[in-house]
Amino acid sequence: MSLIVSSIGQGLLWALLGIGLFLTFRILNLADMTVEGTFPLGAAVAVAAISRGMAPWLATLLAVGAGMLAGLVTGLLYTKGKIPFLLAGILTMTAVYSVNLRILGKSNVSLLGKQTVFNSHFLTSLPQYFDSVVLGVIVVIVITLLTIFFLNTDYGQAFIATGDNPVMAKSLGIHTDQMVNAGLMISNGLVGLCGALIAQNNGYADINMGIGTVVIALASIIIGEVAFGELSLNQRLVAITLGSIIYRLILLVVLRLGFSANDLNLISSIVLAICMILPQLEYHLHLRRSFKKGLTQHD
């Protein structure tokens, strides 16, 4: 039971990563590789700040700011530097790796004996692993509601229009470059927040903890879409959180079957590939059934 609760808590915290990538991947139609660097950046900033005596929540907000700055760098490389978006994200991700080393001072820093957001009196009074569930629920609800509110403002609608049709958006007077930069900042700010919370929950920050984060985020998005079908934009944001929890439970089942933790990236890729293939299989099976039904009726 404790493993299930822990997986749900992890799923809730990692859902922030999925929501962040959703803004660029699904709304702006941009594959942002920056998150591979932004996630450990958020973790590094938060852990380094807490290690130096900063209050955990303030350190977490600082991590959000660092993530937003990394997103802005990618945006400027793309919009002003005219560098292809995928390459812009890779350049920022690569540069951030060195920045993270500078911030941490070494490859791994522990929070042993330090205060974190999970050490508040209310959370420590809960049963084991329930602290991440409760905090995860609170943070996810707040972030989801703020994201829904943002997307329903005039600015948010302009942001959506930029992703749907940039040429038409420009013709309507929307500053598409500004929308892209804002979207990347918000997206990577959420990823930085996720990195900060995960690092505090795990008790350490590691320079390599960003490897595979794109796959994890995509798994949350794709699993949510496949599991719950056609949804409105607001409902899809909720589905991402549920997809993240389902993904964590799948990993738990796989590990219980005897697979090594070293295989998690491989398993994540396989799970994501299967989820992306499922709609195509369903489509072809539907066509076959329709074809057979047509033949039967004709006979």
Average of per-residue pLDDT across 194-198:
94
Q: Is 252 helix (H, G, I), strand (E, B) or coil?
A: helix
According to DSSP, residue 261 is labeled G
* pTM over 0.75, yes/no: yes
Burial class (CB in 10 A: 0-12, 13-18, 19+), 228: middle
**Cβ atoms within 10 A of the Cβ of 20, count?**
31
Q: What percent of the chain has pLDDT over 70?
A: 92
Asked if residues 133 and 5 have their Cβ atoms less than 8 Å apart, the reply is yes
Task: Assess contact for 191 and 14: CB atoms under 8 A.
Answer: no
Decide if pLDDT at 244 tops 50.
yes
Question: Do 13 and 137 touch, CB atoms closer than 8 A?
Answer: no
Query: Which residue, among 264, 96, 126, has the nearest Cα to 192 in the 3D structure?
Result: 96
Residue 295, pLDDT above cutoff 70: no
57 has a pLDDT exceeding 90: yes
Given a cut of 90, whether residue 60 has pLDDT beyond it is yes
CA distance 297 to 291: 10
- Of the two residues 228 and 98, the one the predictor is more confident about is 98
For the record, the structure tokens of 25 come out as 């991947």
pLDDT (0 to 100) of residue 266 = 80
* pLDDT average, residue stretch 146-171: 91
Residue type, 69: L
Q: Stretch 169-187: mean pLDDT, rounded?
A: 92
> Residue holding tokens 């859902």?
15
- Which of 58-72, 196-210, 280-294 tops mean pLDDT? 58-72
* Listed range (179-183, 206-210, 252-256, 286-290) with the worst mean pLDDT: 286-290
Mean of per-residue pLDDT scores for the chain: 87
The model's confidence at residue 291, banded by pLDDT at 50, 70 and 90, is very low
Among 191, 244, 196, 155, CA closest to 43? 196
Q: Distance (Å, rounded) from C-alpha 243 to C-alpha 221?
A: 6
* pLDDT, average across residues 216-243: 87
Q: Are 213 and 227 in contact (CB under 8 A)?
A: no
**CB atoms closer than 10 angstroms to residue 115:** 15
The structure tokens 């998005």 sit at 221
Q: Which of 132-136, 210-214, 283-287 has the highest mean pLDDT?
A: 132-136
DSSP-assigned beta bridge partners for residue 110: 204
What pairs with residue 206 in β-bridges?
Answer: 108
Instruction: Name the more confident of 129 and 297.
Output: 129
> Per-residue pLDDT averaged across 90-99, rounded?
93
Say how far apart CA 188 and CA 122 lie, in whole Å: 29
At 69, the pLDDT band (50, 70, 90 cuts) reads: very high
Quick one: which of 46, 41, 30, 147 has its CA closest to 89? 30
Confidence of residue 279 (pLDDT cuts 50, 70, 90): low
pLDDT (average), residues 218-225: 87
Radius of gyration of the chain (CA): 20
Query: At a CB cut-off of 8 Å and minimum separation 6, what does 230 contact?
Result: none
Which secondary structure element, helix H or strand E, spans residue 108, and what is its range? strand 108-110
Q: Is residue 118 scored above 80 in pLDDT?
A: yes
Mean pLDDT of 213-232: 85
Q: How far apart are CA 212 and CA 240, in angstroms?
A: 18
**What is the average per-residue pLDDT within 65-76?**
95
Q: Nearest to residue 184, comparing CAs of 283, 297, 93?
A: 93
Share of the chain above pLDDT 90, in %: 51
Structure tokens at 247: 């993904």
Backbone φ/ψ region at 229: left (φ over 0), alpha (ψ -120 to 50), beta:
left
Cβ neighbors of 178 (< 8 A, separation 6 or more) are: none
pLDDT at residue 146 greater than cutoff 80: yes
224 pLDDT more than 80: yes
Compute the average pLDDT of residues 5-27.
91
